[in-house]
Every structure is written in C-alpha cells, then in structure tokens.
Amino acid sequence: MKAVLALADGRIFKGKAFGATGETSGEVVFNTAMSGYQEVLTDPSYKGQMVTMTYTQIGNTGINPEDIESNQLYLSGFIVREYLDCYSNYRATMSLDAYLKENGVVGIQGIDTRALTRHLRDKGAQNGIISTIDFDPESLVKKARAIPSMSGLDLATGVTCSAPYHWTQGLWDLQTGYPNVDKRDLKYKVVAYDFGIKLNILRCLVSAGCDVTVVPATFPAESALAMNPDGIFLSNGPGDPEPMKEVIENIKKFVGKKPIFGICLGHQLLGLALGGRTIKLKFGNHGSNLPVMDIATKKVEITAQNHGFSVDILSLSNVAGLAHENLNDQTVEGMAHKTLPIFSVQHHPEASPGPHDSHYLFNRFVEMMEKHKA
C-alpha cells in the first residue's frame, strides 16, 4: 500500500505503508540510535511527534514484552528506510508491523531517510502528515501547516498517571528478568513526579536503593512533603515546559526543603522554577550516541537523549551553574544549584536504549539524600 509523508514546508516523500493505515500528524524529528526502536516507540516523551529512525533497517529484532518504557505507544507516526518483517530474537513475540497495527500507529517505509534527516537538520524540525488515504501533495501540505506548533503545547499532563502508586521493580537481569525488590532494602524515600516517566528510570531509582512513590504531574507539593520523602524526583516528558505554570509553581515549594533531581523535561521545569528560561532547539537531540562532558571531572560520556527544548544557563547565572555540556552543539546538558542540594540533567542516565555511562547520577542523588537525610 502506498503512503506519503508531507512536511509543512512543502517537501514530499513517497513510500510504502506499514503498521496501521490512515492518516496521522505531528512534529517530525529524527533519532540516531542504531537499536532500541521498541523503547523509542514506548517513550512518552515522543507524544505529538513522528519519529524518523536514521539507521537503515528497522524491525529485525521484532517486539518483546520486556523492553517497553510505558504501557502504550505515544508517538504519532514512525518513519523508516527499510522495514524488515522477518524478525529474529529469542525474546521476540511479534513483528513491529503487527505491534504498530495493534496500537494504531501509522508507519511509512521505503523513503530516503538520509535526505529527510538532512532536510530537518537544515530547515529544523517541523510538522508533517503521513497518509495512506490522501495522496494529493497540496492537500497534505495544507493539513501539515494547520497543525499546532510544539512550542506552547503542554503535553505532559496528558501522559501522566491518574493517581499515586508505589514502584518496587528493579533493573533487568539476564537470568531472572525484572526483580521485585524488598521494601526493607530500600533506604531512601523518593516522591517521583510523572510527566511521562520511563519505566527504566523507576527501575534505576529502585536499584539505587530508593523506595519510590510515583505521583501525577499536578500532585500538590504540600501532599508530597507530608509523605516526608528524602528526595524529590522530576521525570522526563513531552512538549514545551513553559505552559506548565501550575507544575512550575509546585516545584518552587520544594526548593530549599528537599534534595531534587530532574531529568529531561524535569530538568527544564526545574530551570524555570529557579527563575530561568528555556529555548526551542532547531531540531533537538534524539538518539543514544551523543557525547556529553561532566564539567567537574572533564569526563566524556556517551548518552541517550530525547528533547527539543533546552535550559538557558545564563538566565540562571546567580542560582545554578553548568554541570554538563553537549559536545555536539554546546547546549546545556546539566546544571547544579550553587548552594542547595539540587541538580538535573537534560540527557537520560537510565539510557533505555543506550549506553550506561551516566548511571552514576542515580547514585549521586542517593548520596545527596544521605547527606541531607532528616
């Protein structure tokens, strides 16, 4: 079946359909990871976006029930160069095509993803349409131009949990799978705000010794403080942080009262709560192979990333300092408060998918909580 991808600036790519049929829209971005497409598909941070995989062959490891990062697919569409329906992996239980169909996600294959990626790098991430029912370029471009911009969109409150819950599952083990950790072995009580949290972040917190209670994005700070946690965690998530005024005001109430650790959107929200500002990046950083330097140690880490916004560290010069820097585009990858036990990173230390160079940040959070434990 034919499929067409139309960008808002008029660029057209013709290919073949896979996954669900129909029409879908969103901001078109590219991800440079060579593996881990299942984790990409289930990352809530991709809500409202259509993801292009730059690696050429996608689908060859199938889909398994263990590598999901949330309970559903949040991205709008999936774009690949070559889809492989014949998968081979000892854990796989179904094909990528069947998985997309089951979850209603429209995909397109057989297009020049290298040309698309170069176009997005030159022109910037932009809205687009994938259609298997409308093949008129003029009609599709018109629809793409009518899609709301990602700037100004609060998407996180649409992917957060509906009620608090407790999490005790630790990191995956080759022999035993995901272990349920005895609560008696979890020393540090953490309230984790869910703005679109990935499951492997929760597992990393538990494996670091944290007793985690996950709460909705707008859960009152007063209620969280009443739990007497040792620390507050602010998760990743989709969309623009600036419209999330209620959440930003909530975070301000934790400053100076509890240690705080933020990742991705949580990092951006923390920057806004501390009085800074954020900026929209031209095409963002999405992948599992991006170099970041820890400013304190000068150590370079290869990291997993997924964001389209960045904190302006100069707007926080009196409050926080640069802690990590992206070596590709020199954007802010981490910050640390100058006097309080507060730090955050733009990249994903849980790295699912991706390298584990930044796993130490969860232990840093634990050390911070130990030092300031009441």
Binding site: residue ranges? 45, 237, 239, 265, 268, 306, 308-309
Q: Across-strand partners of 14? A: 4
Instruction: List, as one string, the DSSP characters of 263-318.
Output: ETHHHHHHHHHTT-EEEEEEEEEEEEEEEEEETTT--EEEEEEEEEEEEEGGGGTT
User: Which residue among 119, 264, 267, 325 is the active-site one?
Assistant: 264
d(CA 49, CA 137): 20
Please answer whether residues 203 and 170 qualify as being in contact, where contact means their C-beta atoms are separated by less than 8 angstroms.
Answer: yes
Q: Is 264 a catalytic residue?
A: yes
Q: Inter-axis angle of helices 265-273 and 245-252, to 10 degrees?
A: 70
Nearest to 51 by CA among 329, 287, 289: 287
Please answer whether residues 186 and 198 qualify as being in contact, where contact means their C-beta atoms are separated by less than 8 angstroms.
Answer: no
Nearest to 193 by CA among 344, 332, 73, 46: 344
Contacts of 215 (CB under 8 A, 6+ apart): 161, 164, 191, 192, 193, 194, 223, 224
Please answer whether residues 255 and 274 qualify as being in contact, where contact means their C-beta atoms are separated by less than 8 angstroms.
Answer: yes
Q: Which residues are annotated as a binding site for L-glutamine?
A: 45, 237, 239, 265, 268, 306, 308-309
State whether residue 342 is helix, strand or coil: strand
Give CA angle at 125 (119, 127), nearest 5°. 105
What are the b/e assignments for 314-345, b being 16+ CB within 10 Å?
ebbeebbebbbbbeeeebbbbbbbeebbbbbb
* C-alpha 43, offset from chain centre: 6
Contacts of 144 (CB under 8 A, 6+ apart): 6, 7, 8, 25, 126, 127, 128, 129
Please answer whether residues 326 and 333 qualify as being in contact, where contact means their C-beta atoms are separated by less than 8 angstroms.
Answer: yes
Nearest to 200 by CA among 304, 58, 81, 49: 304
Q: Which two tokens mark 247?
A: 């959440």
Catalytic residues: 264, 348, 350
